[in-house]
Amino acid sequence: MSNRFGISREKVNKVLQSVAIIVFGFAIGGIIMFAVGYDPIAAYSAMFFGSKEKGMQGAFGGIFGILSTIREASFIILTGLAAQIAFSAGVFNVGIEGAMYLGAFVSFMCAYSFSAPAGSVLGVLGALLSILAAMIAGLLWMSIPAFLKIKRGAHEVVTTIMLNYVATSLTELLVVKFFLPTTGVPPGGIVTPLISRSAMIPQIDFMGGQLNLGFIPTIIVAIIAFIVMERSVVGYSIKVVGSNPNAAKYAGIEVGRIILLVMLAGGAMGGLAGAIAVQFTEYRFDQAFSPGYGTSGIPVALIGRLDVVGIILAGLFIAALHIGAQSIQPVTGMPSQVSLLIEGVIVFSASMPGAFDLLKKYIKPKGEKNE
């Protein structure tokens, strides 16, 4: 049933299913646009290819659009992988956003307080250590809901959502308390001063645009995630725990340890996303840096059907939708609320097959009966 590339029929079916439902989502979006009096073809064309006259590039209509899509995708692929590893183990970790905020702040603190000549060995080391510190911060942050779940049985959905608020508010408080008195409230909102030059990972001039290097750590994480999930005993154990915890116990797998592992790994990945925001992108901690990167990981993981390659494609897709939607209003004059609605409809419908995959586990197989 599978050829030598490991492409099984089941996988092909999954891809076809996902593509069909995405087309369906676009169709529904088109009907909505038509109903409120806009031309769907023009809007979708603006979304993906922009418009030269209006100076918009959409998601792919020019180098600026493409590079923005890639930058955006780096974040949500990373958070998508964090969601994937948790979902695979049956853990609904929705706390990546919080881990990311904490990671971003710790990355900023390290990169701000430390200084070395830019480009020196010490400088590179400092930059790397700041990234590492961010990951550790995310990991430690996530250990709170992990222990609450394992030791006390507190459901991770509740604890991680609450901790997201704690993390965003806590970092805001720290910035307001310790950094705004020196900078004053700038027009850009609640932001810190810049980090030291040596900790900044530069953006590269690329065909006239600025290439954000955040995609490099994301690709490294994706490769590791692929090896762990598809080739390692740990990945096997994660899948068994996620599909049937009773069978996992029976097979000698320590379920608690696996749950701890996936949550901590997700926290570290969230922290890394935060470091990318600070050290690769903004070069400061900006309280409003995330348009919901952490939570976007959930639809990315679902659209990617908990498969690493699928998640990379899904991340690019959602990033393209998000970047492209910003071109619709200037090009067609459609209110931005409508384009947000369209984006939501498409993401929602595209997530459905993956969501049903997860729900299937809660539906008992037929044929079970007493007597």
Beta partners for 211?
204
Exposure letters 217-245 (e unless 16+ CB within 10 A, then b)? bbeebbeebbebbeeeebbebbbbbbeeb
> Least distance in Å: CB of 254 to another protein?
8
Would you give the DSSP letter of residue 3? -
User: Is-contact 214 74, C-beta < 8 A?
Assistant: yes
User: Is-contact 150 258, C-beta < 8 A?
Assistant: no
Which tokens hold the place of 186?
């700038």
- The position carrying tokens 């609605």 is 341
Q: Which is nearer to another protein, 24 or 236 (CB)?
A: 236
Q: Which is nearer to another protein, 135 or 234 (CB)?
A: 234
> Least distance in Å: CB of 21 to another protein?
20
> Least distance in Å: CB of 188 to another protein?
46
In three-state secondary structure terms, 208 is: coil
Q: Which is nearer to another protein, 11 or 197 (CB)?
A: 11
Q: Which is nearer to another protein, 341 or 358 (CB)?
A: 358
Q: Which is nearer to another protein, 176 or 254 (CB)?
A: 254
> Least distance in Å: CB of 18 to another protein?
17
Residue 254: C-alpha distances to residues 163, 257, 361 (Å): 26, 6, 20
Q: Is the dihedral of CA 112, 67, 305, 229 positive or negative?
A: negative
> Least distance in Å: CB of 363 to another protein?
11
- Interface residues with another protein (CB under 8 A)? 1-2, 8, 10, 227, 231-234, 236-237, 239-240, 243-244, 246-247, 249-254, 360-361, 365-371
Helix axes 40-49, 336-360, angle to 10 degrees: 80
Q: Which is nearer to another protein, 137 or 308 (CB)?
A: 308
In three-state secondary structure terms, 204 is: strand
Question: How does DSSP assign 137-169, residue by residue?
Answer: HHHHHHHHHHHHHHHH---HHHHHHHHHHHHHH
Residue 322: C-alpha distances to residues 226, 290, 292, 309, 354 (Å): 26, 13, 11, 20, 20
* Phi, psi values for residue 166, rounded to 5°: -60, -45
> Least distance in Å: CB of 261 to another protein?
12
Q: Which is nearer to another protein, 5 or 121 (CB)?
A: 5
> Least distance in Å: CB of 329 to another protein?
43
> Least distance in Å: CB of 367 to another protein?
6
> Least distance in Å: CB of 350 to another protein?
21
Beta partners for 2?
8
Q: Which is nearer to another protein, 151 or 177 (CB)?
A: 151
> Least distance in Å: CB of 80 to another protein?
20
Burial class (CB in 10 A: 0-12, 13-18, 19+), 89: buried
Q: Which is nearer to another protein, 337 or 370 (CB)?
A: 370
Q: Which is nearer to another protein, 115 or 243 (CB)?
A: 243
In three-state secondary structure terms, 205 is: strand
